[in-house]
Structure 1
Amino acid sequence: MKATWEKIEKNLGVLEVEVDADRVTAALDKAFNKVVRQINVPGFRKGKVPRSIFEARFGVESLYQDAIDILLPEVYTEAVDQTEIFPVEQPEVDIDQFAKGETFKFKAKVVVKPEAKLGEYKGLEVPKANTEVSEEELTAELERLQQRHAELVVIEEGTAESGDIAVIDYEGSVDGELFDGGQAERHSLELGSNTFIPGFEEQVIGLSTGDNKDVEVTFPEEYHAAELAGKKAIFKVKVHEIKRKVLPAIDDEFAKDVSEFDTLAEYKEDLTKQLSERKAEEAKANQENVVVEKAAANAEVEIPQGMVNTEVRNMMRDFDNRLRQQGMNLEMFMSFSGQTEADLQNQMKGDAEKRVRNNL
């Protein structure tokens, strides 16, 4: 295989590739083995049509696109490695030649990683590390651990409070008509989490198990579903259960449950040491980030929009994963926050560009 790279301008160039004819033959063989299982020819069982009969009936050209789809990704990757370029977007490919018994020739217009010209970076000031752990920080960490080890207990009597988990059915309607995504059964909603439409959770607070209530809300003007934006909605809500976090006491028993120590005093001493080490690691990482950000701010580099778009997609995927860990997903978040995917992407673009610049 021959591969050459010619830079056109800045971070754009053309990758020209020629692939040996024997690899074209191998790709056509694979394409035939794939296609022959999908066709019916009178007189032959499915998948048993001889190659000569197939080509006489359909033409070898009928295999070309499948063969290209098989061969192109493989040889493009090899050509990228051979020419030592760093693509940051999908290429624009033009096929120059593909035929049985011939070499495979194509050109790929490729956007590559730009070169960053560093500005002044020596002597940059960085914040000093403070690894001392205050009493407030130790208390906050203990309370965080206390929350993590809290037990969810079903409340038999009393009303729902902020922070409780309400297990509810809901059915939403606008002008008396049900709408897509407005219904759910036995949905666990943390009151005060602000994951539902503004005003919804506040009206569930104060309800008891078995209660039914019509919750009236108004969709935000910028709601992603245009047909619901700004509309008033009524949700018929039924409360099945109310669960409340019961926090364990922070004492010697707590220390035994969450650590290898027998007393709270011993655990506090060890936890203080852990927090100090964590602060030292965070301080070091922060110092490195400050240097990189300052150096990046002084650097001369033109960032391809494709790199920013890719980073935004990565950030959206990470955000969706975090939501799923909380029992939600991106679609639910957009539904209840009134934001569209485009809104979220626009919010992330600034950070995405900053990340790309720092990485370069």
Structure 2
Amino acid sequence: MGRKAYGFDSRRPHKKQKFFIRKIALKITQTLRDDHQVELTVEVEAEQMEAAKRRAARKLSERGKVPGFRPGKAPYDVVRRHYGDEAILEQALDILVDEIYPQALEQEKIEPAAPGSLEKVEALDPAKLVFLVPLRPEVKLGDYRTLRQAYEFTPPSEDEVEQSIQALRRMYGTTQAVERPIQIEDFVLIDLVGKKVKPKDGEDPIVAERKGHAIYIAPEPRENEYPYQGFSRELIGLKAGDKKTITHKFGKDVEDETLRGATVAYEVEIKSVRGLQLPELDDEFARMTGIADTLSELREAIRKDLEQKSRDDYDDRYFRDLLEKIKAGAVIKYPPQLVEMEIENILEDLKERLAEQRLEYETFLKIREMDEDQFIETEVRPAAIRRLERRLVMDELVEAEKIDLDLDALQNEFDQTWEALVQGNEAFNRATNGGAKRPSNLVQAVMLDVTSRMLLQQTLERLKDLANGRVEEQESRPKKGTTKKTKATAEIPAEGTETNSGSADEPAEAKPKKRATTKKAE
């Protein structure tokens, strides 16, 4: 299998040739394109073309059989008569592409961002090869240090802490049959038949029929409640054995087309009612949860956990908004190949998460009522562009702010992360023999992840200080540190990917990504 040379994706191995033609300066014309790519038109000298043809003829004779000659020993003219000039020319162009493309990049001092491609052979006498080269991204940050955005996090209130404690009590609660009327937090079993009030001619009026359907009377309305949001509240006040007809008119925007604009009468019979019995709020309950030994310790643990989650959510919104402001003042250029790579990464990650939920990608698309092309264009591509631009801006910010990592802190975080993976990831545990072995690929992946997270955190903290005026202008450009700088890609937290809702955007990851390849044009 051929490897990439200078970003060019060729079908042929890029190995040192035994009989290399004399390297001479190439005649190259550059044409910049609006999509941050450059066309290199390379004119092939007659000497190069002739040498490539003879080497091509030798290769053809080595692979095939020329009557009367051993493999690779047939004279050039004999090979021409046997295979034809067209076959020799095609092989010669392959040889020239593999040799000229890296030489052209070196001569023009171009570092491609992704594999290039041979767009066309413009002429043959002399031969002109037209290569398309994706250029490395360019980011010019605006005056982001003058941006201001107040950081105004408010810790959860005592009411919110109390709500979390009550939710925990419900989790450890038990149910028992009751004869009283239904109330909030009860579990109800019903028989249900729903009929359209005015069905169309020939249409089956029954739209719902369930026996022994369980319903929880939730304290708050639920979006996915069956058969419609708010239905369970209609049962409050009824008792076991009661019957009731509930009429509901559906809107014209409901997901089920057969119910759009329809009025449905639901005949309900209450089969049983079970009330929720909550445990006493005391030290015994605290021990029951396994979180704390006393009620006061439980309350404090819940408060800290709630505050951390609340702060994480606030930080995600805060930094996303701040980065959008920074991005709005920046000039970002990148070739389209990088977006395609990001799309590939998002789809790969999405499929992995779906597999963990035992859901096939094709089934996911059917649930979304989309084909793959539609899903990519409407959801994945916009998400890929946002992710790519955020990452490019963050990379530039890391460089601009000269973020340094303390190597001792980096090693400590690596050790903690490694141990956490050994203890919490079964596949990782097996691959490392319980942490005893450290395969180089896993070490590199974990180190990249740790480095990215630490760079990200330090960069975000500096941006927050700048945005809140806590860094004086003369100090906004940090002095050169004494610690060794560790470079890695850092990404801003992105909108969360939920496979249930099918959002294509996702938290940016620090793990190595596969790079897409551009098929070589013939």
- The TM-score, its normalising length taken from structure 1, stands at 0.50
| Structure showing greater Rg | 2
